[in-house]
Chain A
């Protein structure tokens, strides 16, 4: 006989009991390891999704709303020895089946054959004509297969900003009938996406030349996709700088023979200040600003629609004007007369305000020489190339009835030759706009030197100054994936109660096991084993059991993880928003899981049996004594004061003094209260008055019984109270925005609808004339919001995002709307929106986002700064000044319109709309807007639905928590059943005796049910009471949603389930004829286990 054989014998003899313990350990190991595997797998999946969406792309060159030469790609490739593919990426929509199948948000990607090297697939090569490659998700949505045809509509791109003055908005999209050439999956870059998000966009690839022709562009691109894994972004930026040409900045140089000048002009109509500044050193140069006036008026006579330009004439001061003789004849004016010039100034969203200014005629000139320079009119698409005035598409309303035959004649003869000239300073004073204040730079032809011009450009104009920036997309993507939601921690948190329940259960099983072997331990002690030897013997056994349990747990964890993955890909899809989850099994994780579960089980069991060993040495052969030592009792009393008083204090303080009921503080109060109540319950359980009381009743008898085995009773109590607390507090905290209605303070801001377009709307929806033009008849108010695209920082994205989309909003409108959860110190609640209009030194701009986005989406806190590059290539720092309660803006960061336009002046139109409409008109308005803006890719949803979608993530986490918590409660019930079965066995003699004393079976069942149901109900009541405090904000907040029915149902189910098992086991344990007096306890314990 050796120690080893003794251990093996013991293990085999107590096999059933050991299997039970192994099962308990296996469950905890599975939950623990499963959480670690899930975490690894989510990281792995996000990492893989980065590879799937980027292919070989390591860096990108992107431009905000501007276009460079397609050839730039080739030049950068040669210069840097990288693989570079140009791409023109635009928004669009796709329609098939005669409009029955429609996808409004399609990423339209124009590529050439170089894309093959990026995608590692030849399917993108030789795309010709109308051939397109579709991502499989888009093909699935549109029910398309190879060879099928469908309609594609693409947001019309313009070399000039669409909101710039005199840019036509007549054509907002281009469409064509496409033929599906190939369908691309994740391995052939079908999931191509340059944003850090795990969800795949709907991609449509077509040839770059086709897309250029649709946009009426000539070999343009807005992205360079670079594969240069061994280069950093600085090296690529330097290469780009070397290759960047004036054409990439949209600049054109041409000779103006009439004036003997050379002109620098821009595709963007207005030349950026940085460019103007760069060319300041050019000698004999001047800035020109040519503007389109609505009319020149004198004494009721009117010359409509004329260009007015600037001229270098030092005699022109203040409101002096030079007109040509055609106008002088038309208006019948002479030198010195004062004429009225009317013109539009353009606000945001092409809001036109007609202004007028009187000018004094300084000179009347003939249309020749510098006064007959038709090149002064900028190249305005829709205007410059119009054959007749009636064909003008000027981006401003043209009243055709004002156009006379003589105007047509002027146009035919002189085109856009300015009819009047004013000083540059005056022109810039009245016509300066966010897009610029110069339409051309004119240089004396003899002074102009092309190499000097190019040299000035290279030295002073960098791509980043024009918003063309290099980004390490792969590095950022992997970083975002690694900093994303840690699902290991999340699932460990979500499984917390389940873990605690299994650990308690393991400790309980081990204690019961040990108790059943009391006599064996006594025998070992009597034959000379030391306590230390016995402890080692027992712990060696426990170690073996833990290893077996841990190994079994590893196996179960694979099934558990598969099950969780299945749930995450189906039932809990909202938590991940992707079906790309792939299991990543790492030996290190499995090893860690095994070691952790062994260590935890050993520690738990060791802690549990320590007391038992000490006790057994002294009292091995005696009956139990549950009397409490005074010191321990005092410690417990102290702990009760230290938990309950702060808990109640915190609740009272919150209710009386805090304007906002903070859920976290109430949860803390609830948890403290739970601890205190459990300690009180423990004292109640141990209460067994020694005072002489000669009465004996069933009640007193029950009290006596309950005071037996308080350790076991406490375990049951803790399991049920903790389970109830967690299940109720999570169940009740499920967000339900429907309850908040459309209150202004809610996350909807009081707005009914949230709409989004893939093509920007360039006009104001509130403009009466515009509504008439579009045929909008219903009455509503729209809030238009401009957007700078960024990553989605909402909880729908698992990656950690550093640059979410920026929205430009009017803070005035949001006063008294929405609710803030956090704010920067020193800002009053009402001042938060006002503060958004401020700007700080160093281009620091105040910003607001949803608190959940700040905390979880970006991993930031209030006061932190987000770094962007604005349109001018300058750093834009957004300082987070406040966090909104969950709102429709989730995923974005808000800045004031003022700051938005200052930093992104060329940003055209609105993509987002909040619609305020009375309920009775809501449906009609929705239908009408959907019809009117169908071609804009208009997607409209109620604000409540939008918040519900965001809440679905949080609610899914709560569902997981609830499901795992319920699993924990089931284990709690299993624990109760085991304890009850074990106790019935131990009390077999007692039951037999009571039967012999004349107790009926029903009385005995009643006694047992009473005794154990008391524990169950005390546990549930303790958890319930504490949970009620934890969910108090939901109970008290107007509109707070707590489903009492759900809570009641949960509590009732817990109690019914518990009482059912107590009843069943009690009936079984008191079945006469099946039990008898038995002093061989060990055999009995074996029998029941």
Chain B
């Protein structure tokens, strides 16, 4: 495992790398490595047993520089292509979790030539009428000093110890408080204003990605409802869905081994 910083057009980007084997570009989400934790999680270790995992932190997250010009998912897509260019990656399998899944889907439809296989886990990005993506920003605003709402939005068991560990009420030390703030500052740039964490036209463009796609979803996801999994799977010409029972949006934290098994089977 290595943690290093690379320079991408004048900005520093923190990069996590681990494992060997077929390379896999990992685009992180919120309750995830780089999002709410500085380190990798069990899921990443499972995947790194078979793959060379390359995971850049989004602008402003952990050690990556902020980018004040970041305003839309398209800006983030270009940034990610620049990271790939810097790493001399022509074409690669991509796994995207949460907002990283949206990013991965955008890259897949705009730049299908650069994507091998695609895995989306609880990906935002689509508009499904009547099935709105949750208001993460309101949910994380303290209610009577507690942020239960965001724990319930991201975890199937919002009162459980896993949720509490990842999203404590009190800022348990400055490091975690800063990490959380940085991540919300980053995702607010493209997700706070409409379209709220989605791209209205993305669903009609999914047909452009002809390679194999796997869509993994926690069956109880209340941030990005599971109907979005179906919409992704129907939009891609060559996709399959794996629903993980009893899990929420943070499915790869809740069932790292189960998700890793599905992902590894798909990628192999």
Q: Do A and B bind each other?
A: no
B residues whose Cβ falls under 8 Å from a Cβ of A: none
A residues whose Cβ falls under 8 Å from a Cβ of B: none
